[in-house]
Structure 1
Amino acid sequence: MSKLLDRFRYFKQKGESFADGHGQVYHNNRDWEDGYRQRWQYDKIVRSTHGVNCTGSCSWKIYVKNGLVTWETQQTDYPRTRPDLPNHEPRGCPRGASFSWYLYSANRLKYPMVRKALLELWREARREHSDPVVAWDALMSDAEKSRQYKAQRGHGGFVRAEWQEMNQLIAAANIWTIKHYGPDRVAGFSPIPAMSMVSYAAGTRYLSLIGGTCLSFYDWYCDLPPASPMTWGEQTDVPESADWYNASYIIAWGSNVPQTRTPDAHFFTEVRYKGTKTIAITPDYAEVAKLSDEWLAPKQGTDSALAMAMGHVILNEFHLKNPSDYFLNYVRQYTDMPMLVVLEAREDGSYAPGRQLRAADLMDNLGEENNPQWKTVACNADGRLVVPNGSIGFRWGEKGKWNLEQHANGSATQLALSLIDQKDAVVDVGFPCFDGLENPQFRHVKQDGILLHKLPVKLLTLADGRQVPVASVYDLTLANYGIDRQLDDRNCAQDYNDVRPCSPAWAEQICGVHRSQIEKIAREFASTAHKTHGRSMIILGAGINHWYHMDMSYRAMINMLVFCGCVGQSGGGWAHYVGQEKLRPQTGWSPLAFALDWNRPPRQMNSTSFFYNHASQWRFEKLQIKEILSPLANPKDYTGHLLDFNVRAERMGWLPSSPQLNVNPLTIEAEARQANMTAEAWTAEALKSGTVRMASEQPDSGTNHPRNMFIWRSNLLGSSGKGHEYMLRYLLGTESGIQGQPVDDAALMPEDVEWQTEALEGKLDLLVTLDFRMSSTCLFSDIVLPTATWYEKDDMNTSDMHPFIHPLSAAVDPAWESKSDWDIYKGLAKTFSTLCQGHLGEETDVVLQPIQHDSPAELAQTGDIADWKQGQCDLIPGKTAPHIVTVKRDYPATYERFTSVGPLLEKLGNGGKGISWNTDKEVELLRKLNYVKADGPAKGQPQINSAIDAAEVILTLAPETNGQVAVKAWNALSEFTGREHAHLALNKEDEKIRFRDIQAQPRKIISSPTWSGLEDEHVSYNAGYTNVHELIPWRTLSGRQQLYQDHPWMRAFGESLVVYRPPVDTRSLEGLKHIPSNGFPEKALNFLTPHQKWGIHSTYSDNLLMLTLSRGGPIVWMSEADAQELGIEDNDWIEVFNANGALTARAVVSQRVPAGMTMMYHAQERLMNIPGSEVTGMRGGIHNSVTRACPKPTHMIGGYAQLAYGFNYYGTVGSNRDEFILVRKMKQVNWLDDEGRDQIQETAK
């Protein structure tokens, strides 16, 4: 019957009855069922992933119907693993499965947006000036107009704009800033390139071509563990998660595997079926504890005490009482433990550990002609002094001896670990002890500041005729751990119940873990490593790394692994997982990202020092140098403010600076030419005479601060911005919630940095953010540019958790007016090239580059600290000061250079981590793949027009994705080591991975010498594997795992050897008397910011699906005991505040949280369900509203072997867990919805 007639009341179709009339069959319209059938129909599936810095790097199926993304599911076609290893899939998590919600949500950025106040001022200036650069000059020349739009940052007022107009405004601001102040006043921040490496490279390529500053991220995020560069000369290298399955004992220490490593957690559970024991060490009852056999709950911030007590047990039982031959042979060959250390006499007749003995200290340099001052010395088993192969002196200036073969001076050797059987004397040696420092929030054991230990020594006569005692690092380590060696040492623990430093009983007093548990776990860990030759593993989470003295905790854990021979063994070692740091094709990516094919060097800056300075966080610093200095150091030699130490490090060439000088670097060449000097010589002389100064010495002068900033692929102001409120006031010039006052005590003032009574506010003239959603950073920006989502652009993604490279793919075209990052910066480069004519042409830029790790310059400073500014030495660029390098910039050719491969790759080649190789064939291949520029400044060069072209550049140049390059790279390394390594890649020599290949299936990368593990069918990737099995040295002073740090600053701050250091007191609870009580009690609690379950950093924290699964807004976890004391019940609104600012959130009251601490899972967006703060009167802040960056001097060291700067390799880090806050229940919840507060939003409409 007609379906039309079915709809009429009096037309009824006859029904067929059955079951004696109890049932009847109707032929009704069933089209409604098509909705269910069509719900899961699709037109195509496209492979992509999420560029979200979660380390998951999971491959997803993106379903497309009618040109729209409908949903996503996990891919399951990863290359198989070997038969004895579980496969990688399933990989994914609920957060990734919800991403498609973003594409068409109300929070999606659809068009370019600009702050209305700025747009009106800009258009007014453009009506008066036809030249956009002159128009920007007019706007910047009017202080009132500038203040007018800056004050509205964060208060709404955005209006829709056009791409062309925004490109003109941005380019004009960049050109004017470069012309008037210098290119180093233009900066950009974007994190973690591995998550979308082409998108990252788009912005940094643009910045590097114009001479702008690329800001680091790994150190600023506090993901960088300084202990890794210190010990291994490696930024970070870790096992892939599949190698967990090869472990026989795993300690998950501060790593909440199922919550923050969701796609990899199956390996953690699967290995337990093999019988592997798993231990969880977390202060709270985290999810990982549920997957573990035992749970240890130390007091937060005391992990180094626990790890040192475990090290005490390991050394006592497996090195002395029942020595393991495997352990002893391992530390003899692969660590600096046999190396000798000169002991320095003290006034009381005791000694202090000095620097490691070098060949240059001895007569005739012990026969060493090349770099004898950089070759460490050990004692052979027969008592002879020898110079073992592998130290950094062998790396530079000679070939073929930089290896870990057991040779010295051309002969086989057996190094002595201890001098106890060869001793000439036993002497008292002082070790710094910080246990007795009182912090009201932490337990301590009363101790003397200096502990004297008895050490066996040899007496040596040096080349200068002095007789000195020397001790081995092994003997120093045993003493440092309080091991009793029958030398009548009263400061050594006699047994595990003796409360002396490093004993289990001592650790129990500090961290709260029972001594028997410490003893048991340490013994099991070491026993397993002994039986399996190193298959004991520690999985570390970033939380431990977020404390001020994070390197002490990490070095203590690393020592446990080293003592047990675990590093470099499959199934063992150090597994530190933080952000998605592993950019596997890094050497192919770097020339693209930093325009090394056109200009060298790029400007790069470590962000912690940058934001500490320019957000004026240093003006509120109350931590004094004397509080962190070793009792063995002379305090008169180490005075000043933390920023003073940073400035000294900059001018000695240790750290980068930005801006660099107090003059425009584009004007220097003309000045030099007038003086008939080179730009390098003129700059050096001007610095010495004081006519030119380091910009950081005058941060508030008005000319020495950043003026334009780009933020992309990041939510800086909603996620990683420690000192959030300081950024709002001093960088942005808008309202902030700072409750403290700048210091006014003369003892807290800097010595080398000029103090202005009134600090500059609103230093940034222009803040541009690229994002696909309206994030917290966008709310404070001047211009917001809409980017394509991860399903709308082509890019690449790698992770440290698995060995594959796979794509982000444009499943659909970018929605509305959004564009890919590559296309956005490409368009900006084109506008810049047009507008700069008449303002900027071919210019000579002067770049200051710090002394670089993995270069011969890392041998610049042999250890004596000499500051040319203080007249202690001459200013020698690249030796006692930064390199001073001239770079030719062709500003009108910026676009042509951005979109083509430059000639330097053919002229200078490519490389990484100290080795280099020829790239002529690869560039020629790119000419065929991408075609060439037909004319213009880049005529004949390979094109990079699209993101796929950029991806092909990376894949072609990288040894990890091009087998021929891999073989060349291994051969290049062989020239240094004198050993054949190319066999590691020969079977992949003809393999070339292309972008379309990875769109078909993720591809496993090729083994490369720029990483320390192998991509092999027979062994899972494990860091340090090639060092141990290929005898390739670590890139450290001794060429071995460096447990003893002998730089003068390391010794002065008491950290030459690992030591327990309690959390520092930031005094962020001082100066709050002006805050009135609201009638509810307050309590000081430690404030921690772990990674959350319902978001990846800030992404997904505003996603409706994730908000529905969680509590739907900001939350702070606290203990039942603290909540009861404060009268707080679960889900109450609370306020958290200190001198840095305030935030509001709901309380989650839980048994899993110990008393004395709170946890606010980090990066909960400030735009989701946040009421006003009773303290500030403003909307209630974010997790970083109560934090402030606080740099550590030992992280500023440079020019000294592995302690030398590299971008994201070494430098100051943004710790935040030492902070304390006051918590109280809110009396009134004010959503600030009154008309007055909506006035600016109404204007925006």
Structure 2
Amino acid sequence: MSHFLDRLNFFGKPLETFSNGHGAVVNEDRTWENSYRQRWQHDKIVRSTHGVNCTGSCSWKVYVKNGLITWETQQTDYPRTRPDLPNHEPRGCPRGASYSWYVYSAQRVKYPMVRGRLMDMWREARKTMAPVAAWDYISQNPERANQYKSIRGLGGFVRAKWDEVNEIIAAANALTIKKYGPDRIVGFSPIPAMSMVSYAAGTRYLSLIGGVALSFYDWYCDLPPASPQVWGEQTDVPESADWYNSTYLMVWGSNVPMTRTPDAHFYTEVRYKGTKTVAISSDYGEMVKFGDIWLAPKQGTDAALAMAMGHVILKEFHANGKSEYFRGYAKQYTDFPMLVMLKEKNGALVLEYFLRASHLANNLDETNNPEWKTLVIDEASGDISAPAGSIGFRWGESGKWNLEQKAGTSGKPIDPRLSLIDCSDAVLPVGFPYFGGRDADDMLMRNVPVKMVQLADGSAAVVATVYDLTMANYGIDRGLGGGNVAKDFADDVPYTPAWQVKHTGVKAADVITVAREFAENADKTQGKSMVIVGAALNHWYNMDMTYRGIINMLMMCGCVGKSGGGWAHYVGQEKLRPQTGWTPLAFALDWNRPMRQMNGTSFFYAHTSQWRHEKLHTAEIQSPSADGEVEKMALIDYNAKSERMGWLPSAPQLETNPLEVTRAAEAAGKDVVQYAVEQIKSGKLNFSCDDPDNPANFPRNMFVWRSNILGSSGKGHEYFLKYLLGTQNALMSDEDNCIKPKDVKIRPAAEGKLDLLVVLDFRMSTTCLYGDIVLPTATWYEKDDLNTSDMHPFIHPLSEAVQPLWQSKSDWEIYKGIAEKFAEIGGEYLGTQKDLILTPLLHDTPGELGQPFDPKDWRAGECEPIPGKTMPSMTVVERNYRDVYKKFTSIGPLLESIGNGGKGIGWKTGHEIDVLRGINRTVLDEGVSKGQPRLDTAIDAAEMILSLAPETNGHVAVKAWDALSKMTGRDHKHLALSREHDTIRFRDVQAQPRKIISSPTWSGLESEEVSYSAGYTNVHELIPWRTLTGRQQFYQDHLWMRDFGEGLCVYKPAINTKTTTSMLGAKPNGNAEIALNFITPHQKWGIHSTYSDNLRMLTLSRGGPHVWLSEIDAKTA
């Protein structure tokens, strides 16, 4: 009987009853139950993960039924850990468990779309014009361009065909290259590790045409500048399993249960073996519930708390001589014994350079890079020596870049003296800048033991060790007399526990207890005290002072490089483990070297014109001992000077099209680099950074993929809308009373700088709404890719469980299609061009030995402009734009002729390229790529990464360790020999998570005996840190660091940016007005902006954001 008739029989008489009439026997259709039974049926399970920059990198089972994704659950087949360590699984969170909703949701971008007004003009122009001419007609006419720029963000998209959108993009790129230069084409995509092939697709295309890849990590304040300052490393941290090895664990500003959900079990489990946990957070986050002690400093004052803890550690465990372990660690692994020159400034001695071998007679017999070799005093002999390991030993000579306790040239054993207190020539007052307020002088005079050293020119220099200077900086009373030192912890002297109370609100007794316990534990366990740090601290002005305050505690206690100890800093999914295999793919280094890159902070600060609204004067934040030059420069001037001198990259680079520069040089019959330097010196050729509002210096085309920059990571949203996009905005700030730059040219504000914004996404994000062209990408369950994290040692795949839906494509296929169309249109329009590329003085290259002391400015006439030394390096790259597609889809010859490498070491890769010819097959078509390994698919690209990276290819790992061994003079190959014959392929990681191989490009070990811990190889293999001294540095020897009072760590309170003053009282309505200071912790129901629009998460969160307002603030309203 039909279902309809069955329903009509609902009120029919039962056939039979039971249970005294309470039950009835029925005869009805029960097929409706099948939907429940079949809900969990599936045809196949595919392994994938989520590229959401959450650091989880969790392996998931994706269930497919009848070609549809039905649901997902966590994988449970991770390789087991050693018996004394909890397993990594289960890994996952509610956000990841809801991802399949996106695949079929109304949020999906299903088709290529173009802003309607732009599409109308394009189609009309194409009736009579070629593609490039059509784009020129539309974009270079202010009136026509304004028609589509002014309505960005207001909807009005129309569906387009793939060939049509690729043609618009190719035409726009080709015109921009010829009219303005390839460095006017930029791309923004964050955190490659979360889907590294997808990231590489865009940057490979940009690098082949000469475009610019923008950084990301620094722009939204996730990059901790303290890390490269102290260690010379962007960020390296322990895996979460190493938390379990800690015996004293601080969680400082990191809400582990919420933001590190898959890893939080290590935090909870470590307590059951007796580890004490301390939570430090301004708000009552979830991690506080797991802490034995909760310290709640006022937001923005964490540096004061860290300095006070450092005071306790130095007083009780260093000055009072409690810990021989701490002293031994400090001698070998930190710059504490290094000598610093002191100079007189305004009647006081202040810190200057590290004393170098070049300062002394005969360069102290150091013939190679004596300007870059720092010095110590030998405890036994009293002689000054240059210990091995400083940066001067890294370049130009082999076998002496190590942390052995020996003099570099002679090889004589030395025992560096930490303090001069027992052998000083004098005790002199030294000035230390203080920024904490009116409770003390802005220059604290504290006594320091010093020695007089005769320099090569016959003069005498006053020197002190970093150790003694640090003791004085922290206000430790060592019986040297003088003022501004604390006799005990109750003295209200910077930086005592009593002093910090008025800044942080934390009880002095609690500070003393935690600092003492932290240090006692580290002493007894030889370094197993750990601090988990989150980006909450890094999002404050002067964040490096906060981080260095915490890092100082760890270095004082010998924790860095010890399993279970050290600095565990987690923000985004920054750890791209197979980095050296990925880099040549991502930046087309297999075809052209170098590539163009740009730090996002400088780029966006300049081109969104935020500098025009700057109200903070450098004089307000400078050190009392700074030179007067500081006061004359605005913050944008510092950026511009850094770019001119090669300290920062620049984009665009030169005001003149770099293609025009090379043509002009050839017409003049001169070498291109020589010609460019002459033109720059004469003022005829200018840097773009000096005139950012000149239309010749605008960025013109921008690609955004794997990012919602206008929805979450674009700091200064309204500035983006007004100046970069030229559309409606709610910018409340004006340029009245703003700081005017000294060097950067001021013009009338320019709006709508971008001619074209192309956005790739799988959902209609905020950035898509403002795009000119929106391209539908595959979801994380519809494409093949690779994913790694700093939280665990495994490499995971993203896998194509189903083919991309509607007209979406993977990022690799999208950029491959753009490259093909560009080769067709741009190849004919541009042909072969020579491109002049400016590259900054790069870390981990000999170029970092540019100017050893206070740098000279060539523009000021202080020195000659010398590429690679006093200004950026210059390289000419020839580009045949007809070959862009062929190069995009094949591996180039440079990996065989030059090789590969990273972080200052290199090795040959010919064998790996031959293997890839077998795995990926070779190109058969005639042309530049014939016979080269193919890169047709995303899996081909993944195989390139896995084959070339030491982390996933044991043969490469052994070669890489061998290369490092030649620099250090110590054998490190043993670290990878046991896995020399291991190779990880894409199908391997699809079968099960694979643990990576130890690599010299990272500072920890992948081992069954020890969890990954940053700095482990530095300590146990005596490999120097990549810093000036080769050690972890308490002292930063740079003119600007000294000028702003940050040579040593200090407390700098939160600043008043003065950005809200004009808004106060602007809209009176008769009610009391209050200004709220928001702290914005991560949400529980999303990762960044992803999942916040997911129906399942909206249901759990009850929909909408939450704002918690204190009762005190509420009562004042």
Counterparts of 1:867 and 1:257, CA distance in 2: 46
Equivalent position of 2:102 in the other structure: 102
Counterparts of 1:573 and 1:673, CA distance in 2: 55
| 1:799-838 alignment runs, 5 A limit | 799-838=789-828
Deviates more, 1:157-166 or 1:910-919: 157-166
Counterparts of 1:141 and 1:1096, CA distance in 2: 39
SS in structure 2 of the partner of residue 468 of structure 1: strand
Cα deviation, residue 702, structure 1:
1.1
| Preserved CA contact (<8 Å) 1:5 1:11 | no
Match status 1:115 vs 2:108: no
Counterparts of 1:1019 and 1:86, CA distance in 2: 13
Matched letter for residue 432 of structure 1: P
Distance 1:253 1:3, change over 3 A: closer
Equivalent position of 1:148 in the other structure: 147
| Preserved CA contact (<8 Å) 2:618 2:630 | no
SS in structure 1 of the partner of residue 884 of structure 2: helix
SS in structure 2 of the partner of residue 318 of structure 1: helix
| Preserved CA contact (<8 Å) 2:622 2:630 | no
Counterparts of 1:541 and 1:7, CA distance in 2: 60
| Preserved CA contact (<8 Å) 1:332 1:417 | yes
Counterparts of 1:540 and 1:1092, CA distance in 2: 18
Equivalent position of 1:1225 in the other structure: none
Counterparts of 1:1119 and 1:991, CA distance in 2: 57
| 1:987-998 alignment runs, 5 A limit | 987-998=978-989
Cα-to-partner distance string for 1:489-525 (whole Å, 9 max, x where unaligned):
2110111111000100001111110100000000000
Cα-to-partner distance string for 1:242-281 (whole Å, 9 max, x where unaligned):
0000000011000000011111000000000001011110
Q: 2:467 aligns with which of 454, 459, 474?
A: 474
Matched letter for residue 1029 of structure 1: H
Equivalent position of 2:392 in the other structure: 393
Cα deviation, residue 715, structure 1:
0.2
Match status 1:627 vs 2:620: yes
Counterparts of 1:1114 and 1:200, CA distance in 2: 30
Equivalent position of 2:891 in the other structure: 901
Equivalent position of 1:370 in the other structure: 368
| Preserved CA contact (<8 Å) 2:14 2:24 | no
| Preserved CA contact (<8 Å) 2:619 2:630 | no
Q: 1:1039 aligns with which of 1027, 1030, 1042?
A: 1030
Counterparts of 1:1120 and 1:104, CA distance in 2: 43
Equivalent position of 2:247 in the other structure: 248
| Preserved CA contact (<8 Å) 2:827 2:883 | no
Counterparts of 1:1100 and 1:218, CA distance in 2: 21
Cα deviation, residue 24, structure 1:
4.5
Cα deviation, residue 3, structure 1:
9.7
Matched letter for residue 419 of structure 2: S
Equivalent position of 1:613 in the other structure: 606
Distance 1:2 1:829, change over 3 A: closer
Matched letter for residue 352 of structure 1: V
Cα-to-partner distance string for 1:652-696 (whole Å, 9 max, x where unaligned):
010011000010101112211122211111111110001110011
Equivalent position of 2:415 in the other structure: 414
| 1:1028-1107 alignment runs, 5 A limit | 1028-1072=1019-1063, 1075-1107=1066-1098
SS in structure 2 of the partner of residue 429 of structure 1: strand
Equivalent position of 2:556 in the other structure: 563
Deviates more, 1:1108-1117 or 1:467-476: 1108-1117
| Preserved CA contact (<8 Å) 1:629 1:635 | no
| Preserved CA contact (<8 Å) 1:625 1:640 | yes
Could you state the TM-score of these two structures normalised by the residue count of structure 1? 0.88
Match status 1:952 vs 2:943: yes
Distance 1:22 1:128, change over 3 A: closer
Q: 1:458 aligns with which of 451, 457, 460?
A: 451
Cα deviation, residue 159, structure 1:
1.1
Equivalent position of 1:1158 in the other structure: none
Q: 1:791 aligns with which of 776, 781, 784?
A: 781
Matched letter for residue 997 of structure 1: D
Cα-to-partner distance string for 1:339-367 (whole Å, 9 max, x where unaligned):
0011112342x311111001111111111
Please, what is the CA RMSD of the aligned residues?
A: 1.5
SS in structure 2 of the partner of residue 661 of structure 1: coil
Deviates more, 1:626-635 or 1:764-773: 626-635
Counterparts of 1:238 and 1:724, CA distance in 2: 31
Counterparts of 2:632 and 2:907, CA distance in 1: 46
Distance 1:69 1:435, change over 3 A: same
Q: 1:520 aligns with which of 496, 513, 519?
A: 513
| 1:58-457 alignment runs, 5 A limit | 58-129=58-129, 131-348=130-347, 350-382=348-380, 383-408=382-407, 409-436=410-437, 446-457=439-450
Match status 1:886 vs 2:863: no
| Preserved CA contact (<8 Å) 1:535 1:569 | yes
Unaligned segments of structure 2, at least 5 residues: none
Distance 1:17 1:1069, change over 3 A: closer
Counterparts of 1:24 and 1:541, CA distance in 2: 62
Matched letter for residue 122 of structure 1: W
Cα deviation, residue 42, structure 1:
1.0
Runs of 4+ in 1 over 6 A off after TM superposition: 1-8, 10-14
Matched letter for residue 903 of structure 1: P
| Preserved CA contact (<8 Å) 2:896 2:910 | yes
Match status 1:967 vs 2:966: no
Cα deviation, residue 61, structure 1:
0.6
Counterparts of 2:1111 and 2:65, CA distance in 1: 50
Matched letter for residue 282 of structure 2: P
Counterparts of 1:347 and 1:222, CA distance in 2: 36
Q: 1:1019 aligns with which of 1010, 1013, 1017?
A: 1010
Distance 1:21 1:768, change over 3 A: closer
Distance 1:459 1:120, change over 3 A: same
Matched letter for residue 692 of structure 2: P
Match status 1:917 vs 2:915: no
Deviates more, 1:209-218 or 1:859-868: 859-868
| 1:488-499 alignment runs, 5 A limit | 488-499=481-492
Counterparts of 1:301 and 1:10, CA distance in 2: 68
Equivalent position of 2:834 in the other structure: 844
Distance 1:1070 1:21, change over 3 A: closer
Counterparts of 2:1016 and 2:143, CA distance in 1: 61
Matched letter for residue 217 of structure 2: Y
Overall identity of the aligned pairs, in % = 64
| 1:1074-1223 alignment runs, 5 A limit | 1075-1126=1066-1117
Counterparts of 1:910 and 1:499, CA distance in 2: 56
| 1:1002-1017 alignment runs, 5 A limit | 1002-1017=993-1008
Equivalent position of 2:845 in the other structure: 855
Counterparts of 1:1002 and 1:810, CA distance in 2: 17
Counterparts of 1:838 and 1:27, CA distance in 2: 76
Matched letter for residue 1110 of structure 1: S
Counterparts of 2:731 and 2:14, CA distance in 1: 79
SS in structure 2 of the partner of residue 138 of structure 1: helix
Counterparts of 1:777 and 1:5, CA distance in 2: 53
Equivalent position of 1:505 in the other structure: 498
Match status 1:767 vs 2:757: yes
Cα deviation, residue 649, structure 1:
0.5
Deviates more, 1:407-416 or 1:394-403: 407-416
Matched letter for residue 101 of structure 2: W
Matched letter for residue 33 of structure 2: E
Cα deviation, residue 729, structure 1:
0.3
Counterparts of 1:276 and 1:1025, CA distance in 2: 21
Cα deviation, residue 1123, structure 1:
1.5
Match status 1:709 vs 2:702: yes
Matched letter for residue 710 of structure 1: F
Counterparts of 1:370 and 1:361, CA distance in 2: 14
Cα deviation, residue 863, structure 1:
1.6
Matched letter for residue 373 of structure 1: E
SS in structure 2 of the partner of residue 352 of structure 1: strand
| Preserved CA contact (<8 Å) 2:617 2:631 | no
Unaligned segments of structure 1, at least 5 residues: 437-444, 1127-1245
SS in structure 2 of the partner of residue 54 of structure 1: coil
Counterparts of 1:344 and 1:992, CA distance in 2: 56
